[in-house]
């Protein structure tokens, strides 16, 4: 974007939330507010949560600075899975919604996340103000996220958009791309919110079938999973729109941060969440600008406050001022996960991010799956590619050539790389939930 960039709308919103309405937001006021809310959260958790009484003790903890938070222990996904009810700080009749999440990569019990009505209203409020970055009153916004249940992300987003004066068009995840494309053109959609790969599929299918760019479409917000740079670029090129990035997890309350018009990092809902970036090995705060694991603490959550929750996501705080001029922190777009990678015999590693950035630039590709099989003999990497339309084919030689851009497949590090098979992925073979995070499927075959 050329020319002046307006400040993120999160800044005046946060100023109101911390009692600074009508005045420029100051870091001093924001940090003082955060410290007050942090101590209130610690007190609430110690008094009402069985888990935090065990973890933190019953003697009241009162922090003098925000930096003192780094001395407290972490909360993990395994903690929540083991005893979710031990986190709850309200009476049962105050719980408005419970979300059950499978624990990634394990066969253990699922995580259960609890919200009061007030907790969910905080998310509506964030969606209202965060979405005003890319849409305005009377804009028609297509919601390609789950929204059939009360309190689901799609319903909360619909409510937030209506507070903004925009017209929300609930749709749900994309199951029939042609039908969704027809709706986009028929309803003259101005903006949409969806899963990165599903939106890419729509854009590439429309181009493959010779459809014009959707008239009036100005902006797309991608959410629910890491946004590959190659996917964002492709959508922008095909549709000529601006692509924004949102970061949020169910544990955060579904909303954590969102791009401003500069689209160069998330601004965070700092009145509700306190973020850290820590060294994943030592657990200590990462140096300014250095990558590490994203950790957050809730500041205003009632049902299920979380203290220093380890997300497993990798990012960093950007020390340079944002071009929008805000005093709010800016966090780089999440670059991957700490877990889920594959260690190869030669010492190199492969991650979902590696494959995303290597393969999504292929114009005929809608999606792909990676399966890594270990067993007797040489490991095998199976790449299943899904064409963007039934008129398209993904060139297998182009796939193999693209894989060579991954460091693990080039030079000396390629010594331990697996055998690679490229296969076509039939759309009906997809057994993933439509909004599930993409990952490498890893299978180990027994010997003997």
> For 377-435, what is each residue's pLDDT tens digit?
788 999 999 999 888 899 999 999 999 999 888 765 556 678 899 999 876 655 544 56
Name the burial class of residue 359, with classes exposed (0-12), middle (13-18) and buried (19+) by CB atoms within 10 angstroms of its CB. buried
Sign of CA dihedral 137, 143, 146, 148: positive
What are the phi and psi torsion angles at 381 (to 5°)?
Answer: -110, 120
Give the confidence band of 443 by pLDDT, cuts at 50, 70, 90. Answer: confident
Does position 165 have pLDDT exceeding 70, yes or no?
yes
Bridge partners of 193?
Answer: 143, 221
Average pLDDT of the segment spanning 225-236: 94
Does position 106 have pLDDT exceeding 50, yes or no?
no
Give the model's pLDDT for residue 93: 96
Residue 70 lies in a domain: no
Name the burial class of residue 104, with classes exposed (0-12), middle (13-18) and buried (19+) by CB atoms within 10 angstroms of its CB. middle
Phi-psi sector, 14: left (phi>0), alpha (psi -120 to 50), beta: alpha
Residue 167 lies in a domain: no
The secondary structure of the chain in percent helix, strand, coil, rounded to multiples of 5, reads 30, 20, 45
Give the model's pLDDT for residue 414: 57
Q: Domain total for the chain?
A: 1
Q: Can you say how many angstroms the Cα of residue 425 is from the centroid of all Cα atoms in its chain?
A: 25
Name which residue leads in pLDDT, 212 or 391. 212
Highest mean pLDDT pick, 1-10, 105-114, 146-155: 146-155
pLDDT in tens, 263-304: 999 999 999 999 999 999 999 999 989 999 999 999 999 999
Residue 368 lies in a domain: yes
Residue 377 lies in a domain: yes
Measured distance CA(432)–CA(388) in Å, rounded: 18
Measured distance CA(245)–CA(282) in Å, rounded: 29
Name which residue leads in pLDDT, 429 or 351. 351
- Write the CATH number for 435: 3.30.300.30
Residue 148 lies in a domain: no
Measured distance CA(224)–CA(435) in Å, rounded: 7
pLDDT in tens, 314-337: 999 999 999 999 999 999 999 888
Give the model's pLDDT for residue 105: 46
> What percentage of the chain has pLDDT greater than the value 90?
78
Average pLDDT of the segment spanning 123-149: 95
Give the confidence band of 54 by pLDDT, cuts at 50, 70, 90. Answer: very high
Give the model's pLDDT for residue 447: 52
Does position 368 have pLDDT exceeding 90, yes or no?
yes
Give the model's pLDDT for residue 2: 55
Could you tell me the residue range of the domain that residue 417 belongs to? 342-444
Half-sphere exposure of 309 (CA within 13 A, CB side): 22
Give the model's pLDDT for residue 51: 98
Q: What tokens were used for 75?
A: 């909360």
Residue 354 lies in a domain: yes
Give the model's pLDDT for residue 307: 98
Q: What tokens were used for 444?
A: 């180990």
Residue 92 lies in a domain: no
Measured distance CA(275)–CA(295) in Å, rounded: 6
Measured distance CA(387)–CA(205) in Å, rounded: 9
pLDDT in tens, 243-254: 999 999 999 999
Give the model's pLDDT for residue 340: 80
Cβ–Cβ < 8 Å for 297, 231: no
Does position 42 have pLDDT exceeding 70, yes or no?
yes
Average pLDDT, the chain: 91
Measured distance CA(187)–CA(213) in Å, rounded: 13
Residue 334 lies in a domain: no
Residue identified by tokens 């903006």 is: 191
Give the model's pLDDT for residue 377: 76
């Amino acid at each position: 974007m050329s020319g002046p960039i307006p400040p993120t709308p999160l800044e005046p919103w946060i100023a109101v939330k911390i009692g600074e309405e009508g005045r420029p937001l100051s870091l001093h006021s924001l940090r003082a507010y955060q410290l007050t809310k942090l101590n209130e959260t610690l007190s609430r958790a110690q008094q009402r949560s069985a888990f935090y009484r065990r973890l933190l003790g019953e003697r009241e903890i009162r922090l003098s600075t925000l930096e003192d938070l780094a001395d407290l222990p972490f909360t993990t996904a395994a903690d929540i899975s083991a005893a979710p009810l031990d986190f709850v700080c309200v009476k049962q009749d105050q719980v408005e919604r419970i979300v059950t999440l499978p624990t990634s990569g394990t066969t253990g019990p699922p995580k259960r996340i609890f919200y009061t009505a007030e907790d969910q209203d905080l998310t509506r409020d964030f969606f209202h103000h965060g979405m005003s970055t890319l849409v305005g009153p009377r804009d028609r916004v297509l919601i390609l996220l789950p929204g059939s249940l009360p309190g689901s992300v799609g319903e909360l987003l619909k409510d937030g958009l209506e507070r903004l004066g925009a017209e929300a068009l609930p749709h749900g995840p994309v199951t029939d791309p042609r039908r969704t494309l027809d709706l986009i053109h028929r309803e003259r959609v101005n903006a949409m919110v969806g899963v990165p790969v599903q939106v890419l599929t729509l854009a590439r299918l429309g181009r493959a079938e010779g459809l014009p760019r959707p008239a009036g479409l100005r902006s797309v917000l991608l959410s629910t999973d890491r946004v590959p740079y190659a996917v964002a670029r492709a959508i922008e090129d095909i549709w000529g729109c601006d692509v924004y990035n949102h970061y949020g997890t169910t544990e955060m309350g579904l909303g954590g941060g969102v791009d401003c018009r500069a689209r160069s990092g998330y601004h965070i809902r700092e009145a509700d969440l306190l973020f850290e970036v820590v060294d994943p090995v030592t657990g200590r705060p990462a140096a300014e600008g250095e990558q590490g694991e994203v950790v957050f603490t809730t500041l205003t959550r009632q049902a299920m406050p979380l203290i220093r929750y380890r997300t497993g996501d990798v990012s960093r705080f950007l020390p340079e001022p944002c071009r929008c001029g805000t005093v709010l922190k800016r966090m780089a777009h999440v670059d991957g996960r700490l877990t889920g990678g594959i260690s190869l015999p030669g010492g190199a590693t492969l991650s979902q991010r590696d494959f995303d950035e290597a393969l999504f630039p292929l114009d005929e590709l809608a999606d792909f799956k990676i399966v890594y099989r270990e067993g007797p003999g040489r490991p095998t990497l199976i790449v299943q590619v899904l064409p963007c339309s039934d008129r398209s084919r993904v060139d297998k030689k182009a796939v193999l050539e693209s894989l060579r851009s991954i460091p693990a497949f080039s030079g000396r590090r390629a010594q331990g790389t697996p055998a690679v098979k490229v296969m076509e992925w039939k759309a009906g073979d997809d057994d993933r939930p439509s909004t599930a995070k993409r990952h490498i499927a890893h299978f180990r075959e027994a010997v003997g």
